[in-house]
């Protein structure tokens, strides 16, 4: 009971913060606009001149007067960079390479309708993009149930689990023996067989973009990312020179401070990915390892902040290679290009350091709990993995957002709105445990398995190959979900098959030759993409080898011999959807590409 009151207090507190900071109208925040400039505005850093004046000075007379009158009309003021200048010169240069320095925010009249302003400012043809701040929401906003003392006592008596964690027997999502008495088909991610293959993930950093993870939870504390320079450094000093002072475990972007505030949503997600295994307490986690071999989780507390994009930039700049996201924009079809730009930064720049497990990053999103076939951003973005939720019976949960753009299904439970025991059991703040459900809980299953796969194949796998391995062997659940065919992604993720993907024991053995390096990738272009009747593969060098086309769950659809610079592949009789193309030459070089057939 004490715990419940604590959480009630926490959620009231965070709600208050969000209410205080922002007023939204139709999913768009009042009082602020974002611009992307066409070129760099401020060459010199003359701080005595306001950025607004610099912007005006940079325009010709006619444009200047047009913009000035708009700014006056809408009380525009306080122009500043959306992605603040990094105090670290090499990071700042990297950010510039991706155009992040071109994004600015402008405060405007609180009473103006932002959508009208976007139209007015866009019409000036001064900016590359004009957009607002769209509302973002957690996909489980507070439905959870704490374990009761009686449950803790009963579960603790079970000692027949894969690990000695007392609650593992209740984690049907990992290993479903029909604990919940649910038929027809007990669903799980085949984790016990997966753990037979791989348990260690200590060299993988996962970033959790959410509220705060309870970094002191006894079942999580050994698997929290630690910035050693700050841990052993001087308080109040940016010891590693990354632009953030005392960022020991991550950053609180809401308050721009190093102190993250533990929240049920982020803490529950962290437990699914990486609660410590075989430590004799609580739950098990997919990539939790034991005795310090678990995944390293970075906590990025940003929800309600206007600066979501910075969390991706921070994650990529500080070592994360897999990004966990259980949030969506507030309204279907809406998205911010600035946020997508930041996600792209992570996809390209993550792992760009000596000894990193993978060059580039994998970004995983939940699909949302709208219970409909709608377009939810950022999950629907083709360069991220979108995960929807099923219950312990392999059926799509009622709340799950489903669509042709979904990539995978994973357990999230049926119990979101009643917070009951059919949901997922994991860690909660204040050293406790509880049930929560939703697509929020499905996405971290994919992240956890991804961390294990990446740890097994580090240095020998690209982000796209990692994605393909996760889809590989996903179990088709159409038979349990009539009416939702092709709208639950590749199917239910299977940890064992994902981990087996690159091993020599199956057909994919030549997918990447043992020990071949990702530097051996063939350079080529696949176009047009999306394709309707055919696509072409163009290579700078003469290509002598094989083209294989796979379905999204890893089944070989067809293969072609290739012996030229340009190859043309007809797809007119293909079903619409996503395919993977593997091109392998006779020297053992290869590359994986994704193509959408429309
Ligand atoms: Ca620092
Ligand atoms: Ca410090
Ligand atoms: Ca444990």
pLDDT tens column, 39-77: 876 555 555 678 888 889 888 999 999 999 999 999 999
CA–centroid distance, 203 to ligand 2, in Å, is: 23
Calpha distance 275→223 (Å, rounded): 7
Which is more confident, 123 or 513? Answer: 123
Specify whether 79 is located in the same domain as 183: no
- With a pLDDT cut of 70, the percent of the chain lying above it is 90
- Going through 211-331 in order, the beta strands assigned E by DSSP cover 250-252, 296-301, 322-325, 327-329
Burial of residue 232 (number of CB atoms within 10 Å: 0-12, 13-18, 19+): exposed
Q: How many CB atoms lie within 10 A of CB 150?
A: 8
52 within a domain of the structure (yes/no): yes
Active-site pick, 210, 239, 304, 393: 210
| Residue 183, pLDDT score | 63
Of the listed 284, 440, 469, 590, which one is catalytic?
440
Q: Which ligand is nearest to the CA of 162?
A: 3
Burial (CB count <10 Å: 0-12, 13-18, 19+), residue 20: exposed
Long-range contacts of 561-570 (CB under 8 A, 24+ apart): 562/537, 565/538, 565/539, 565/540, 565/541, 566/536, 566/537, 566/538, 566/539, 567/536, 567/537, 567/543, 568/534, 568/535, 568/536, 569/534, 569/535, 569/536, 569/537, 570/533, 570/534
Is 4 a member of any domain? no
Over range 144-154, report the average pLDDT. 90
Pairing of strands 136-138, 103-107: unpaired
Q: What is the pLDDT of residues 382-409, one digit of tens each?
A: 999 999 999 999 999 999 999 999 999 9
pLDDT of residue 107: 96
- CATH number, domain containing residue 547: 2.60.40.3080
H or E element that contains 92: helix 89-97
Confirm whether 9 is domain-assigned. no
Distance 140 CA to ligand 3 centre (A): 24
Q: Among 474, 506, 538, where does a domain finish?
A: 506
pLDDT single digits (tens) 302-339: 987 778 999 999 999 999 999 999 999 988 999 999 99
Residues 471 and 521 in one domain: no
Is it the case that residue 229 has pLDDT exceeding 90? Answer: yes
Same domain, 476 and 521: no
Evaluate whether 427 touches 275 at the Cβ level (below 8 Å): yes
78 located within any domain: yes
Known catalytic residue at 210: yes
In terms of domains, do 458 and 490 share one? yes
Sign of the torsion angle spanned by Cα atoms 506, 510, 513, 518: negative
Q: Which helix (H) or strand (E) holds 364?
A: strand 362-366
pLDDT of residue 510: 52
Domain boundary among 448, 476, 506: 506
Nearest to 225 by CA among 287, 277, 279: 287
3 state SS of 26: coil
The predicted pLDDT at position 512 comes to 59
C-alpha of residue 534 to centroid of ligand 1, in Å: 50
The answer on pLDDT for 445 being more than 90 is yes
Pairing of strands 32-37, 24-25: unpaired
So what's the pLDDT on residue 1? 33
Q: Do residue 293 and residue 210 come from a single domain?
A: yes
Question: Which residue range forms the structural domain that includes residue 106?
Answer: 23-134
DSSP summary character for residue 414: S
Ligand lying nearest the CA atom of residue 318 = 1
pLDDT of 362 above 90: yes
Q: What is the pLDDT of residue 501?
A: 82
Selection from 417, 368, 364 nearest residue 389 by Cα: 368
In 3D space, the residue among 252, 463, 281 whose CA is nearest the CA of residue 356 turns out to be: 463
Look at residue 513 in the predicted model and tell me its pLDDT. 55
pLDDT tens by residue, 152-206: 998 888 767 899 999 999 999 999 988 877 666 789 999 999 999 999 999 999 9
Tell how far the Cα of 92 is from the centroid of ligand 1, in angstroms: 15
Domain match, 170 and 229 both: yes
Distance, CA 531 to ligand 3 centroid (Å)?
47
Per-residue model confidence (pLDDT) at position 9: 36
246 alpha carbon to ligand 2 midpoint, in Å? 4
Mean predicted confidence (pLDDT) in 427-435: 96
Say if 451 falls within a structural domain.
yes
pLDDT value at 237 more than 60: yes
In angstroms, what is the span from residue 294 Cα to ligand 3's centroid? 11
Helix (H) or strand (E) holding 407: none
Residue 454, classed as helix, strand or coil, is helix
pLDDT at position 485 is 93
b vs e for 291-330, b when ≥16 Cβ sit within 10 Å of the residue's Cβ?
A: eebbbbbbbbbbbbbbbbbbbbbbbbbbbbbbbbbbbbbe
Query: Given a cut of 50, is residue 20 above it in pLDDT?
Result: no
Neighbours of 535 (CB within 10 A): 22
Same domain (yes/no): 393, 275: yes
Output the CA 434–ligand 3 centroid distance in Å.
Answer: 14
CB 229 within 8 A of CB 237: no
The closest ligand to the CA of 233 turns out to be 2
Domain boundary among 506, 527, 544: 506
Number of domains in the chain: 3
490 CA distance to ligand 3 middle (Å): 30
Residue 7 lies in a domain: no
**Any idea how long the chain is?**
598
Mean pLDDT of 27-37: 93
pLDDT at 241: 95
Residue 512 lies in a domain: no
Q: Which of 265, 414, 445, 460 is catalytic?
A: 265
Q: Are residues 202 and 329 in the same domain?
A: yes
Distance from the CA of 207 to the center of ligand 1, in angstroms? 16
For residues 77 and 168, state if they share a domain.
no
Smallest-distance ligand from the CA of 286: 3
Considering every ligand atom, which ligand is closest to the CA of 234? 2
Cα 78 to middle of ligand 1, angstroms: 27
Q: How far is the CA of 259 from the centre of ligand 2 (A)?
A: 13
- Same domain? For 330 and 206 the reply is yes
Q: Which residues contact 102 (CB under 8 A, 6 or more apart)?
A: 36, 37, 38, 39, 40, 41, 128
Higher-confidence position of 371 and 590: 371
Instruction: Assess whether 204 and 232 both reside in one domain.
Output: yes
Residues 545 and 578 in one domain: yes
Lowest-confidence region among 310-314, 352-356, 357-361, 550-554: 550-554
Question: Tens digit of pLDDT for each residue in 453-495?
Answer: 999 999 988 999 999 999 988 999 999 999 999 999 999 999 9
Residue 444 burial (10 A CB sphere; 0-12, 13-18, 19+): buried
Query: Which one of the ligands is nearest to 231 CA?
Result: 2
Q: What is the DSSP string of 104-141?
A: EEEE--TTS-HHHHHHHHHTTT-EEEEE--B-EEESSS
Give a yes or no: residue 362 inside a domain: yes
Res 586: pLDDT? 83
Q: Does the pLDDT at position 419 exceed 60?
A: no
> Can you give the pLDDT at residue 86?
94
Ligand with an atom nearest the CA of residue 426: 3
CA 535, 541, 543: angle at the middle one, nearest 5?
Answer: 60
**Which residues touch 577 (CB under 8 Å, ≥6 apart)?**
404, 486, 552, 596, 597
Q: What is the CATH number of the domain that holds 493?
A: 3.40.50.200
pLDDT of residue 42: 59
CA of 239 to the centre of ligand 2 (A): 5
Provide the residues around ligand 2 (an ion) whose CB is within 5 A.
Answer: 230, 233, 237, 239, 246
What is the per-residue pLDDT for 523?
Answer: 84
Whether 506 shows a pLDDT value over 50: the answer reads: no
Structure tokens belonging to residue 43: 């060459």
Residue 188 near residue 174 (C-beta atoms within 8 A): yes
Q: Cβ–Cβ contacts within 10 Å for residue 479, how many?
A: 10
Check residue 47 and give its pLDDT.
58
């Amino acid at each position: 009971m004490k715990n419940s009151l604590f959480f009630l207090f926490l959620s009231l507190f965070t709600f208050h913060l969000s209410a205080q900071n922002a007023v939204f109208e139709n999913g768009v925040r009042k009082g602020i606009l974002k611009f992307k400039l066409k070129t760099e505005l401020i060459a010199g850093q003359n701080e005595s001149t306001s950025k607004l004046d610099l912007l005006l000075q940079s325009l010709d007379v006619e444009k200047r007067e047009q913009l000035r009158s708009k700014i006056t009309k809408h009380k525009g003021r306080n122009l500043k960079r959306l992605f603040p200048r990094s105090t670290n010169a090499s990071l700042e240069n990297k950010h510039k390479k991706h155009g992040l320095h071109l994004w600015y925010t402008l405060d405007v009249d609180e009473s103006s309708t932002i959508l009208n302003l976007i139209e007015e400012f866009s019409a000036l043809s001064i900016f590359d993009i004009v957009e607002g701040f769209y509302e973002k929401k957690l996909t489980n906003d507070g439905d959870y149930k704490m374990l009761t003392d009686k449950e803790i006592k009963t579960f603790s008596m079970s000692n027949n689990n894969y690990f000695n964690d007392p609650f593992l027997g209740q984690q049907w999502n990992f290993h479903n023996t029909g604990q919940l008495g649910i038929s027809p088909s007990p669903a799980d991610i085949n984790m016990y067989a997966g753990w037979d293959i791989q348990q260690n993930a200590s060299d993988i950093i996962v970033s959790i973009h959410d509220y705060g993870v309870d970094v002191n939870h006894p079942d999580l504390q050994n698997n929290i990312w630690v910035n050693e320079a700050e841990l052993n450094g001087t308080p109040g000093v940016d010891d590693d020179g990354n632009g953030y002072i005392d960022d020991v475990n991550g950053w609180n972007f809401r308050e721009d401070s190093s102190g993250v505030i533990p929240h049920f949503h982020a803490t529950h997600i962290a437990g699914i990915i990486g609660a410590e295994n075989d430590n004799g307490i609580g739950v098990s986690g997919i990539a939790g390892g034991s005795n310090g071999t678990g995944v390293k989780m970075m906590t990025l507390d940003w929800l309600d902040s206007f600066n979501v994009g910075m969390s991706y930039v921070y994650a990529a700049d500080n070592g994360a290679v897999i990004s966990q996201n259980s949030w969506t924009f507030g309204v279907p079809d809406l998205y911010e290009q600035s946020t997508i730009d930041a996600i792209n930064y992570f996809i390209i720049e993550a792992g760009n350091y000596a000894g990193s497990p993978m060059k580039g990053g994998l970004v995983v999103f939940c699909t949302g709990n709208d219970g409909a076939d709608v377009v939810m951003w950022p999950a629907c973005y083709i360069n991220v993995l979108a995960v929807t939720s099923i219950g312990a019976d392999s059926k799509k949960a009622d709340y799950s957002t489903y669509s042709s753009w979904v990539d995978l299904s994973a357990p999230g439970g049926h119990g979101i709105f009643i917070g009951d025991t059919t949901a997922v059991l994991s860690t909660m703040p204040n050293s406790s445990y509880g049930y929560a459900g939703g697509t929020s809980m499905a996405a971290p299953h994919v992240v956890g398995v991804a961390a294990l796969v990446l740890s097994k194949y580090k240095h020998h796998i690209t982000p796209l190959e990692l994605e393909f391995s996760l889809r590989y062997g996903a179990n088709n659940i159409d038979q349990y979900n009539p009416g939702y065919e092709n709208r639950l992604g590749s199917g239910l993720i299977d940890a064992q098959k994902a981990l087996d993907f690159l091993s020599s024991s199956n057909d994919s053995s030549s997918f990447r030759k043992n020990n071949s390096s990702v530097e051996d990738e063939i350079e080529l272009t696949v176009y047009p993409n999306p394709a309707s009747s055919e696509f072409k593969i163009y290579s700078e060098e003469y290509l002598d080898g094989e083209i294989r086309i796979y379905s999204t769950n890893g089944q070989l659809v067809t293969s072609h011999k290739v012996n030229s610079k340009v190859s043309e592949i007809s797809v007119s009789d293909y079903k619409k959807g996503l395919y993977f193309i593997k091109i392998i030459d006779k020297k053992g070089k290869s590359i994986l590409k994704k193509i959408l057939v429309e």
